[in-house]
Amino acid sequence: MSNESPSANPQHSHARAVRRTVNSVVCLLLLSSLAAGCWFWSGSEKQRKLDVTIASTTSSHTELTGPLEKTSGYVGPEACAACHRERVAEFIQTKHFLACREPQADKMPRAFLTEQGRVPSREPQIEFEMTQTQEGFFQTAIQSTSGGVRSSTSRIDLQYGSPPNDEVYFSWKGDFLYELPVAWLHPQQEWGISTFNPDSGGDFSRPMSVRCLECHTTWMEHLPGTQNGFKRDHAILGVTCERCHGPAQPHVDFHRMHPDEQSGAEILHPGRLSRERLIEVCTQCHSNAIKHRGPAYSYRPGQLLDESYKTTSSRYPEENHVANQIQSLRESKCFQQSDSMTCITCHDPHHSSAAAPEIEAQASHSCTTCHQETACHARPQLPTGVQHQCVACHMPAHRKIQVYFDTTKDTYVAPVMAYEHQIRIDPMATQTVLWEWHKKQPGDENALLAKSLANSLYQHWNDEGDRRRQNSRHLAAADAYREALRFQSDPDVESKLKAVLADRSTIDVQSMVAARQIRQQQYRDAAITLEKILLLKPDQAQAHGKLGAVYATLGQKTRAVEHLEAVRQCDPDDAYGEGMLGWLAYNDGQYASAIEHYQQADEMEPFKAKLHFQWGLACMKMESWKSASDQFRLAVTIDPRHADASDALSQSLQKQGDFDGAIQSARRAVMLTERKRPEFLLQLAESLADNRQLAEAQQVAVESLNVTRPNDAELMLRIRRRLQEYQK
């Protein structure tokens, strides 16, 4: 969350008004140390083949060569294979295991080696080239400018996904991980380009989010306070055994010391958890639990998920997190009327995912464990060939529009079909099943029935597209119009589809334009741009938030408040509006009101350093020193590099008489700013003086004076006065 006005960063304004500081670091997720070696038992030829398969497959997933504290107790799938060889051999074929991996030549799309490697973008002056060399796989961004052609090549270091879905690629830049814009879409057998900012330059990548990586890996050490900073060493890629069973080092240690013990000690068996805790093993990723309440990778199976993440709500399915199946499942009567139904009632996480028809057949078989065939009242009227298609009728697959790409033929293409998890009677789904069956059967009667069903389905989806369009749900409307065209060609529907896609494209493009105008301090132009976005989508929370900040900068407070309050109305989980309202109240001297807004923002989006820092500033103004220090501690816990919060923590501790703590925090602020911020050095000097360390206080004050800019006469005067006091 960023709750600052475009023209005035609250941290810098605090530097003028109140001296600031940074953070105390919290070392996260440290456990006992041990090297995680892997060993295998010798056995039959079959077992030896499994060993080779496991070793070759997991080598690109696990890199455990260092001390255990670096992995927080995770040991990787090879350690599990020492005793659970066949189970691991099955599991490494699953999509979970392949959720994140290093590129392997024999598994990458052949398009890297063909003419398909050249990928034009929606921006006429920008294209990409995907290549393979002996050194690896690469994306090159090529941009035509007035000064000539510029290119930027990035190595593909990691990839998400595998056939039959899409593959997304990532590149390391030092310790920071970035998502590249070009992906391979297996269903379409072509390249796709995700939305990118043409102003960003370079390879047009975007920072990877922590929450995204958490759901595609078992462990990677996050650099606190960064969006996309990680330590690559000791990473355990993919969703492996320990993601569901918990860190396995105690289990491995115990059974190495007790090789005859068969109990499976010191490890979690998810099947023995309560129903809700078992479900949360899956919904740590397959839900809208997307906002952190604590450090990355802190959730452990068996814990209450809400202690680690805040689950957001959504008005429409297209606003969901990528995989929010649990919300729909909970709305199903099957789930509500059962005491035992969980995700694993229908899904076996240990086995490879089958092709779509096999998935449906397996899931339909799960239905019969609770339902008799006679319970389906529609069954007698259905053709024999479709009587067993429970899933297709009651959990139809649709293209979820949360993840989309541009291709050479279309825009906002959702590559993957995902099954609806609200189990219910769906007349349109049943009609679709019948349409697909009848159109494959011979005879005029079947042809007439297929045509009648197609007309009905066309009309339903056309009407649904119109309803969604009226509610400014552009991508959802596009999905509906595409469904209508699946059943009947119609130039009018094609025109409406182009219109809603054009509207969505305009929103995306204008959002980038507004961001550039704000960076360039063209606030009046930015206001006009953002107002245009809201004409197309009146309920876009982000546009309201930015427009509110722009109006605040322009001094139009009434209009600013109007739009900032609209943020929460449009999205109850977007904390930007409340955070900005808090900052406006703070600048108006309404400190109690500011704190109320910050409390509301914290409920929406917890674990944000900037929010707690600003909250602490308001507490300081009210001379609530204990509350202030609590907020600053939270800020530096979340972001150990937050120098301003460390300085402010030093001040609040000094007011409470904790001079040792004040000195420690002040030293950290000075260290983080490389002793270049005179106000931080002065705070350290004052903390030292209060603790009767006058000689060092005088030295630091002189240092502060030496780095003060000559035009900052007020600060220079303060420092000289302090020096005189120390000398006395």
Of the pLDDT bands very low, low, confident and very high (cuts 50, 70, 90), residue 72 is confident
Residue 38 clears pLDDT 60, i.e. is over it: no
Whether the predicted model's global pTM rises above the 0.75 cut: yes
Separation between Cα atoms, residue 687 and residue 662, nearest integer Å: 6
Residue 44 clears pLDDT 90, i.e. is over it: no
Q: Which residues contact 517 (CB under 8 A, 6 or more apart)?
A: 523, 525, 526, 529
Q: CB of 213 within 8 A of CB of 179?
A: no
- In angstroms, the Cα distances linking 26 to 220, 633, 637, 639, 685 are 17, 10, 5, 9, 25
Q: What is the DSSP string of 228-255?
A: SBEEEEEEEESS-HHHHH---HHHHHHH
Nearest to 63 by CA among 87, 42, 80, 38: 38
Give the pLDDT confidence score for residue 465 in this predicted structure.
Answer: 98
Give the pLDDT confidence score for residue 50 in this predicted structure.
Answer: 52
**Mean pLDDT score, 365-372:** 83
Residue 34 clears pLDDT 50, i.e. is over it: no
Q: CB of 400 within 8 A of CB of 317?
A: yes
**Mean pLDDT score, 280-285:** 97
Query: Which amino acid is located at 403 in the chain?
Result: V
Q: CB of 615 within 8 A of CB of 607?
A: no
Of the pLDDT bands very low, low, confident and very high (cuts 50, 70, 90), residue 79 is very high
Give the model confidence (pLDDT) of 211-256 as tens digits. Answer: 999 999 999 999 999 999 999 988 999 999 999 999 999 999 999 9
Give the pLDDT confidence score for residue 36 in this predicted structure.
Answer: 31
- In angstroms, the Cα distances linking 360 to 368, 369, 417 are 13, 15, 13
**Mean pLDDT score, 399-415:** 91
Strand-pair category, 417-419 with 397-399? antiparallel
**Mean pLDDT score, 594-622:** 98
**Mean pLDDT score, 510-532:** 98
Give the pLDDT confidence score for residue 35 in this predicted structure.
Answer: 29
**Peptide bond connecting 164 to the previous residue in cis, omega within 30 degrees of 0:** yes
Residue 334 clears pLDDT 90, i.e. is over it: yes
Residue 395 clears pLDDT 60, i.e. is over it: yes
Tokens 């529609």 belong to 378
**Mean pLDDT score, 137-165:** 95
Give the pLDDT confidence score for residue 375 in this predicted structure.
Answer: 83
**Mean pLDDT score, 530-548:** 98
Tokens found for residue 113:
């080696």
**Mean pLDDT score, 330-337:** 94
Residue 439 clears pLDDT 90, i.e. is over it: yes
Q: Name the region of 108 (left: φ>0; alpha: ψ -120 to 50; beta: rest).
A: beta
Query: Which amino acid is located at 173 in the chain?
Result: K
Give the pLDDT confidence score for residue 354 in this predicted structure.
Answer: 57
Higher pLDDT, 49 or 181: 181
In terms of Cβ atoms closer than 10 Å to its own Cβ (0-12, 13-18, 19+), residue 499 is middle
Separation between Cα atoms, residue 451 and residue 438, nearest integer Å: 9
Average pLDDT, the chain: 89
Q: CB of 581 within 8 A of CB of 549?
A: no
Higher pLDDT, 293 or 58: 293
3-state helix/strand/coil string of 392-455: HHHCCEEECCCCCEECCCCCCECCCEEECCCCCCCHHHHHHHHHHHHCCCCCHHHHHHHHHHHH
Of the pLDDT bands very low, low, confident and very high (cuts 50, 70, 90), residue 388 is confident
Nearest to 36 by CA among 66, 69, 72: 66
Of the pLDDT bands very low, low, confident and very high (cuts 50, 70, 90), residue 54 is low
Of the pLDDT bands very low, low, confident and very high (cuts 50, 70, 90), residue 379 is confident
**Mean pLDDT score, 274-285:** 97
**Mean pLDDT score, 75-96:** 93
Give the model confidence (pLDDT) of 92-136 as tens digits. Answer: 999 999 999 999 998 999 999 888 899 999 999 999 999 999 999
Give the pLDDT confidence score for residue 17 in this predicted structure.
Answer: 40
Of the pLDDT bands very low, low, confident and very high (cuts 50, 70, 90), residue 5 is very low
Separation between Cα atoms, residue 68 and residue 242, nearest integer Å: 15
Of the pLDDT bands very low, low, confident and very high (cuts 50, 70, 90), residue 613 is very high
Q: CB of 487 within 8 A of CB of 454?
A: yes
Of the pLDDT bands very low, low, confident and very high (cuts 50, 70, 90), residue 1 is very low
**Mean pLDDT score, 630-644:** 98
Q: CB of 205 within 8 A of CB of 180?
A: yes
Give the pLDDT confidence score for residue 400 in this predicted structure.
Answer: 78
Q: Strand, helix or coil at 96?
A: coil
Residue 69 clears pLDDT 70, i.e. is over it: no
Give the model confidence (pLDDT) of 6-24 as tens digits. Answer: 444 444 444 334 333 333 3
Query: Which amino acid is located at 236 in the chain?
Result: I
Query: Where are the strands (E) in 532-690, listed by range?
Result: none
Give the pLDDT confidence score for residue 575 in this predicted structure.
Answer: 98
Residue 684 clears pLDDT 80, i.e. is over it: yes
Which range among 49-63, 246-260, 280-294 shows the weakest confidence by mean pLDDT? 49-63
Q: What percent of the chain has pLDDT over 70?
A: 89
SS3 content of the chain, % helix, strand, coil (to 5): 50, 10, 35
